[in-house]
């Protein structure tokens, strides 16, 4: 088989649908395609959303999330998985079940829990989120408000982000990146903890 006919790698996004196309399933699929990766998807929620915010959200039943996962994983050789909005603890439980059975390789956990305007996108317990997905994750990528919710405290600047990355790392992921786009100030700094090292990414 020539290189031109090789099948592209397959990635799976498990997330909510963004009707505005700027986040969620739509953004993940755009990103996969930009890197020559075939994107598959499991829709966990429908949102009424645009550039100004989320006006409504409707979670998919956990059994339907399970059916979508089974459909994709039984047919595609998925090389990596990314989660986004999971919505509630029932869906979280399904994802954790598949991850615990080693069916979600190279799991990237983006804990989409809070909108930019502060509305909650996850109705369950943040501690349960960390406890169930942290040990299964290759990397966790919360933004500043999400890291704060996961840890149960307010986070403000880069020093808080570093402490948050260290704290989140204790739950078992191989790496943690705390995204600083919501921090005050003109410059944006992301903080990466990996293999015991802390890096500031500007």
The set of long-range contacts for 150-157, using a CB threshold of 8 Å and a minimum separation of 24, is 150/111, 150/113, 150/126, 151/126, 152/126, 152/127, 156/183, 156/184, 157/183, 157/184, 157/185
**Span 183-200, average pLDDT:** 78
Beta partners for residue 83, in sequence order = 14, 109
Residue range 4-40, pLDDT digits in tens = 568 899 999 999 999 989 889 999 999 999 999 999 9
CB within 8 A of 123, min separation 6: which ones? 87, 88, 89
What's the rounded Cα separation, in Å, for the pair 28 and 168?
24
Higher pLDDT, 159 or 115: 159
Instruction: Report pLDDT for 4.
Output: 56
**Span 176-187, average pLDDT:** 70
Residue range 35-81, pLDDT digits in tens = 999 999 999 999 898 888 888 889 999 999 999 999 999 999 999 99
Whether 3 has a pLDDT exceeding 60, the answer reads no
Residue range 77-129, pLDDT digits in tens = 999 999 999 999 999 999 999 999 999 999 999 999 877 666 778 888 988 99
Percent above pLDDT 90 for the chain: 71
Residue spans of the domains in the chain: they are 8-201
Look at residues 164, 167, 108, 174 and name the one whose alpha carbon lies nearest to residue 141: 108
* Arithmetic mean of pLDDT over the chain: 91
Other CB atoms within 10 Å distance of the CB of residue 89: 17
Whether 185 has a pLDDT exceeding 60, the answer reads no
Other CB atoms within 10 Å distance of the CB of residue 50: 13
**Span 143-156, average pLDDT:** 92
Instruction: Report pLDDT for 5.
Output: 64
Given a contact cutoff of 8 angstroms between Cβ atoms, the answer to whether 172 and 134 are in contact is: yes
- At 183, the pLDDT band (50, 70, 90 cuts) reads low
- What is the fold of 8-201? 3.40.1190
Instruction: Report pLDDT for 1.
Output: 45
Beta-strand (E) ranges in 37-127?
Answer: 38-50, 53-59, 78-83, 107-109
Instruction: Report pLDDT for 187.
Output: 52
DSSP letter (8 states) at residue 43 = E
Residue count (the chain): 202
């Amino acid at each position: 088989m020539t290189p031109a006919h090789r099948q592209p790698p397959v990635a799976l996004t498990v997330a909510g649908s963004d009707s505005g196309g700027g986040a969620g399933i739509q953004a993940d699929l755009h990103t996969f395609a930009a890197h020559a990766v075939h994107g598959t998807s499991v829709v966990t929620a429908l949102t009424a959303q645009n550039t100004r915010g989320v006006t409504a959200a409707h979670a998919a039943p956990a059994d339907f999330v399970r059916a979508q996962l089974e459909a994709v994983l039984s047919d595609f050789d998925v090389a990596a998985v990314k989660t986004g909005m999971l919505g509630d603890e029932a869906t979280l439980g399904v994802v954790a079940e598949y991850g615990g059975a080693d069916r979600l390789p190279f799991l990237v956990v983006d804990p989409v829990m809070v909108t930019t305007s502060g509305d909650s996108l996850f109705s369950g317990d943040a501690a349960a989120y960390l406890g169930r997905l942290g040990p299964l994750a290759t990397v966790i990528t919360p933004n500043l408000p999400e890291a704060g919710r996961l840890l149960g405290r307010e986070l403000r600047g880069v020093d808080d982000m570093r402490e948050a990355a260290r704290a989140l790392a204790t739950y078992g992921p191989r790496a943690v990146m705390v995204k600083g786009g919501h921090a005050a100030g003109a410059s944006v700094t992301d903080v990466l903890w990996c293999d015991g090292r802390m890096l500031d990414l500007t």
